[in-house]
Structure formats: C-alpha cells, structure tokens
C-alpha cells in the first residue's frame, strides 16, 4: 500500500500537471459520479492529506481519492478529447481528467468522491496530524498514540486517526531502528522512545519526498538514492533472511484485528523491549 511519501509525490505530480489549467473533460467511473462532468473547471491545487488526495477545483469542489492497496494516478500526454489512448480503456481505470495537454489516469482507486471543498473534513477530518505537514503537531500525535495504552505500538502507529501517513514500511523500519518490539503496549513504552520512533518515521518520510528517488521493489514505494536513509530495507520485505545486525531470520507477524490486520516484519532478537 502506498504510504504518505508516495501519496505526497503523487499529489505533486498531479499538481504540476494540472494546477492552473482548465479541464476539458472528465470521466469518473464510479456509479455515484458517472454523470458528473468537470469540464470547464480549473484545478486550483492537488494536495495530500495523510494517504488521501484532495484535488481542489474552481467552483468550490474537491475530488477526493485514496489509493488503498494498488491504486495509482499517472500523468500522460492527452491525445484528443475525449482521450483514446490504451491507458484509458483498462477496466480498472476509475478516473480520467484531461486538459489540452495532459491526461491524468486514476487506476484501481480505492475511493473516489466529489465533495464541496468546505466539507472536505467529512472525508479526512478523522485523520490525526499529518507527518508530512510542515506544521506537524508532534505533541498531539504522541498524545493520540497513547490514548489506548494497551494496544501494540505498531497498531497505534498504523491507525491514521492517531497520526496520518504511516503504512507498514514506516512502521516496521523505525521500530527496528530503535529496537522496539512491535507488540509492546504503547502505554508501556518510554515517552522518549515513542517520540524517537515518530521522529524517525517522519524524518525518513520527509527525506523520501525531497531527495532523488530510485525505483523501490516493494509496494511501489521508492527509497531515496542518497545516504540519509538505509539504502536497503532492513526488515521490510526480508522475511526469513538474516537480520543485518544480528543474523537472526527476520520474521513476519500480524498486528491489529481483521479487517485492519496488517503484516509487519521484525527481528525477534534486536527488537525486544
């Protein structure tokens, strides 16, 4: 599943292609929006909010999307109106938006809604502080994380109501970095260690957004090409392979209950807290 940094980059790509441009047309392939036509509206901006995308349009409308597991937005050259390229015909395409020169294709989107911009909170108001927000409210995020002190730290990190943007990569890797057992009840964790885990997740996500990127192997989430982050994942995607610190096979485990259960990777020796 794309995490906050991948969604941030998607928003930037869409913003650069569409902001300030008039839409010549739209094709929204979900039942509730099948008759909606956004032609004639100018894109004001496309911004991320946690793992959600908010495409704000002239006239006070916001097209909201979420990538869920496999969703993506691609920007292609628009050929004709309506566009007819092969990328437009896949049965998994949920949205086409086009200007005179650019075509945005939303494929396998997990959510697609149109709301009045003043009512965006109905869709994203439940989210905790956004790790990629310049004004990230760290104290509120930390307070949210320990609201239920009995749940495992990994589950608390993945709950978007506590803080927004973390998926299994940015839960697994910082917990390994700080030697924290993912199943530690969050209330039992030292406050400074909890703060350090959040700071590391944020630092790595911010840097992933800023620096040049190489294609990643997992989840479509690329890793930065420079030395700010570990160049390779240390636990994520490494089931059964030796821990880079101690050699113990990396294990896979589940946090949370269905349908929100998520798979994490960890080192059973390095992460004892």
**Among all residues, which ones are annotated catalytic?**
2-3, 51, 262
Q: Tell me: does residue 269 bind Zn ion (CB under 5 A).
A: yes
In the shown chain, the binding pattern of residues 211 to 250 toward Zn ion, with x for contact by CB under 5 A and - for none, equals: --------------------------------x-xx-x--
Q: How far apart are CA 234 and CA 168, in angstroms?
A: 13
Give the nearer residue to Zn ion in terms of CB position, either 27 or 177.
177
Give the nearer residue to Zn ion in terms of CB position, either 78 or 267.
267
Give the nearer residue to Zn ion in terms of CB position, either 178 or 207.
178
Strands 43-49 and 111-116 turn out to be unpaired
Give the nearer residue to Zn ion in terms of CB position, either 211 or 269.
269
Strands (E), the chain: 25-28, 43-49, 52-57, 61-66, 72-77, 93-98, 102-107, 111-116, 213-214, 223-224, 251-255, 262-266
Q: Tell me: does residue 267 bind Zn ion (CB under 5 A).
A: yes
Q: Tell me: does residue 270 bind Zn ion (CB under 5 A).
A: yes
Cβ neighbours around 67 below 10 Å, total: 24
CB of residue 250 to Zn ion, shortest distance in Å = 8
**Positive or negative torsion for Cα 14, 16, 22, 25:** negative
- # chain residues binding Zn ion, by CB under 5 A: 7
Footprint on this chain of Zn ion (rule: CB under 5 A): 243, 245-246, 248, 267, 269-270
């Amino acid at each position: 599943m794309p995490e906050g940094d991948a969604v941030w980059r998607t928003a930037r790509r869409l913003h650069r292609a569409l902001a300030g441009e008039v839409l010549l047309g739209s094709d929204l392939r979900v039942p509730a929006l099948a008759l909606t036509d956004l032609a004639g509206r100018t894109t004001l901006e496309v911004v991320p909010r946690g793992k959600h995308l908010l495409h704000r349009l002239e006239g006070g409308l916001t097209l909201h999307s979420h990538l869920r597991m496999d969703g993506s937005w691609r920007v292609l050259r628009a050929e004709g109106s309506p566009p007819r390229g092969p990328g437009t015909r896949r049965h998994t395409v949920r949205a086409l938006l086009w200007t005179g020169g650019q075509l945005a294709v939303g494929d396998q989107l997990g959510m697609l809604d149109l709301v009045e911009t003043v009512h965006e909170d109905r869709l994203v108001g439940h989210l905790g502080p956004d790790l990629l927000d310049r004004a990230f409210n760290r104290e509120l995020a930390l307070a949210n994380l320990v609201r239920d002190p009995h749940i495992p730290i990994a589950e608390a990190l993945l709950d978007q109501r506590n803080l927004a943007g973390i998926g299994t990569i940015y839960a697994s890797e910082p917990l390994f970095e700080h030697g924290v057992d993912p199943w530690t009840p969050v209330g039992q964790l030292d406050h400074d260690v909890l703060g350090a885990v959040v700071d590391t997740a944020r630092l790595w996500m911010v840097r992933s957004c800023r620096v040049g990127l190489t294609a990643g192997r997992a989840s479509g989430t690329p890793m930065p090409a420079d030395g700010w982050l570990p160049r390779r994942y240390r636990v994520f995607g490494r089931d059964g392979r030796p821990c880079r610190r101690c050699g113990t096979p990396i294990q896979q485990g589940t946090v949370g209950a269905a349908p929100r259960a998520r798979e994490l990777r960890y080192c059973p020796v390095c992460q004892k807290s």
